[in-house]
Structure formats: C-alpha cells, structure tokens
Chains A and B, each alone.
Chain A
Amino acid sequence: MSRVITVTSGKGGVGKTTATANIGAALAALGHKVVCIDADIGLRNLDVVMGLENRIVYDLVDVVEGRCKLRQALIRDKRLEDLYLIPAAQTRDKNAVSPKDMVRICDELRKDFDFIIIDSPAGIERGFKNAIAPADEIIIITNPEVSAVRDADRIIGIVEAEQKGPAKLVINRINMDMVERGDMLAVADVLELLAVELIGIVPDDQAVIVSTNRGSPIALEKKSKTGEALRDIAKRLAGQEVAFTSADGAGGLFGRLSKMIRVGSKHA
C-alpha cells in the first residue's frame, strides 16, 4: 500500500524541507521506494537540501502543463537508488498547480512508490492546499517556541477539518540545556498544549547546517544523534515501535517523567 505523507508547519523556517529530505532518505535507506515532491512552487529548495540541484531538467509545473512525462521529472538520488525527487518550478507561482493536479500526480506515483513525501510551503494558502490535497497522512513540524507552536495548532485544526487527521508531530530543534534551565518549552509542554500524537523529537544541532551545506542528509550519518532521531521518525512511519528515550531531548528529570506519562496516554 502506497502512502502519501505531507510535511507541513504553518510557520516558515521550522525545518520542513530538511525534515522531508531526511525522512525520505531514511525511508529509502530502510529499503522503501520513496519519492519526495517539492510543493513550494517559486521557492524551490528541496533540491539543494538533497544535493540534486544540478540534475534538474523538468519540474512539477512541467508535468502539470504537459511539457514532459511524469517519469522524466523524477530525479534519482546520488546515494540511494530507491530515492527520487520531483522538484518545484522556480520561476512560476503556486497558482500554476491545483489541488486536483497534485491528487492526479500522486495517484500515478502510487503505482511505483511505497512513500510519496510532500514538502509543503509555509502558510495556509494555495501552496499548502496543494500539498495536503493528496495526503493520506500529515506530519507537522514545530519548534519549541511560541509562534511555531501557535501556527502548528492552527494547522492541526485545519488538518482535522479537512479530515486528513490525526496529524503527527515532530518537535524540531529542541535544545536540552535550555529546557533544563527552564527557558525552552519541554516536549511534555508542547504535547500538552497541542494534544496530538508525537512521532519525533529532533535536537538543535549545528551539524544539520553542515550536512545541508554539503547537500547530504544527516539521517545517513550513522554516528549522528540527530541523524538517529530522524531515522527513528522513518522507522515509526514504517510501523516499527521505537521508544522515545531521555536522549531524545525531553530535558530534565521532570520533563522526562511527564513526557513518559504524556506519550503513554496519548490515545486515551
């Protein structure tokens, strides 16, 4: 069964594109056939984060407007043979694609791929609607910070109203030192506020910028803790039970205890 998973956030700059590239790479490394679609028309970036910017010939808008076949717009990853990218157009705007186009393209991709991961643009306008239209599941990326959490809540509400829920949450860029000082929302705080299922906790790590500089997903770096956190998200998506541990950045004894309670009762 093929699954279409859309990665979104409301607020910009929380790490959607990096998460998409890494979850896609991690799923492909697990042996699944994966295609990542950049739905941010006009502000294309998934290509550079995946390190595939030099291989682009056709893009999503070329497919929609019939200038090429869908398979001609599929770019194969350099490292993983089961990972592909469909890039966004850079010189067009988001109205060049409609939600119907996205559903049609994804239905065609379902025949060949296990996972279709869509990188949504920020905001709740056309580009976002395009990104969630074909989705079977939604992953929301947030940071432990007031504006990102507020926007995540708004998106969770929209996802529920569109009957695409329940959304799953990734808390990205958590800084354990700040959580332990009491100067950053803990995992338990964010879960209590948003009341949504957790699927990943990713630490704030400068190594992510280094890997993005190189165009090589950190999820493929075996020794990286951040890479492991991202690989764990892929495993959970693929149906494996991967427990959250204190090393995930719950932060502090109290944070850890309350997180365990929260995670344990999330379906209650």
Chain B
Amino acid sequence: MRSLASLFSPRNRSAQTAKERLRLVLIHDRSSLPPGVMETLRDELIEVISRHVDVDRAAVRLEITQDGRAQRLLADIPLKRIDQPLPDL
C-alpha cells in the first residue's frame, strides 16, 4: 500500500512519469542524435582532446540540454590533475 506521503508526491503520479519520458524523447527527436551516436561522439571527443591534454576519461559527460526550443550540446571534460614535482634546485 502506498504511504500517505507518496500519494501526494507528484513524482509517483503518471503525469510526472509522462513528462520525464517526453522530455528525453523530445531531446532525441529534435536533435536526430540517437543515444548510440552520443556514445561515439563522446569517445571521439575524448580521443581528440587527449592528444593535447590529459583527460579524466571516466568522468567525461556529454549531454543535450534545452533552452526554449533551442538545443545545446554540453560537454563536461575534467582534466587529469598532474602533481608537478618541485623543480630541482
């Protein structure tokens, strides 16, 4: 049985589920970028950037965000921390 709190929580109602599902579906419909291509894009981005600087591969995030009807491809690419030793004196 549902708790009283969950009954009033919009998260558990079907409209909320519909909204969340639609949000994701529309992002991919609009960009014509299937989820699989996002993976390829992510790998290729990492490869190019790694040629110049060390990237924390596991932490790279690539996502499509929405701003009104405009879409934006956002990449968050953390760089590897390099512990630089003090130069020898």
Contacts and interface: CB of A to CB of B under 8 A. Distances in A.
A215 interface: no
B2 interface: no
Nearest to A192: B19
B15 A156 contact: no
Contact of A182 (B15, B21, B66): B15
Chain A's interface size range is 20 to 34
A179 interface: yes
A160 B30 CA distance: 12
A30 interface: no
Contacts of A192: 19
Contacts of B19: 185, 189, 192-193
A160 B21 CA distance: 24
A181 interface: yes
Interface in A172-220: 178-179, 181-186, 189, 192-193, 195-196
Chain B's interface size range is 10 to 19
A32 interface: no
A181 B69 contact: no
B38 interface: no
Q: Mostly helix, strand, loop or mixed at chain A's interface?
A: helix
A238 interface: no
A160 B69 contact: yes
B83 to A, nearest CB: 46
Contact of B69 (A149, A156, A254): A156
A198 to B, nearest CB: 14
B29 A189 contact: no
Interface string A121-153: 000000000000000000000000110011001
A55 interface: no
Nearest to A166: B69
A150 B10 contact: no
B14 A183 contact: yes
B21 A179 contact: no
Most B CB contacts (10 A, CB to CB) among A181, A186, A189 go to A189
B14 A150 contact: no
A42 interface: no
A154 interface: yes
Nearest to A266: B68
B22 A193 contact: yes
A257 to B, nearest CB: 14
Contacts of B13: 181-183
Contacts of B25: 146, 150
A157 interface: yes
Interface string A82-122: 00000000000000000000000000000000000000000
Contact of A149 (B22, B30, B66, B68): B22
Contacts of B48: none
B29 A150 contact: yes
Interface of A: 145-146, 149-150, 153-154, 156-157, 160, 178-179, 181-186, 189, 192-193, 195-196, 254
28 contacts: A145-B18, A146-B22, A150-B26, A150-B29, A153-B26, A153-B29, A153-B30, A154-B29, A156-B69, A157-B29, A157-B69, A182-B10, A182-B12, A182-B13, A182-B16, A183-B14, A183-B15, A185-B15, A185-B22, A189-B19, A192-B19, A193-B19, A193-B22, A193-B23, A195-B66, A195-B68, A196-B69, A254-B10
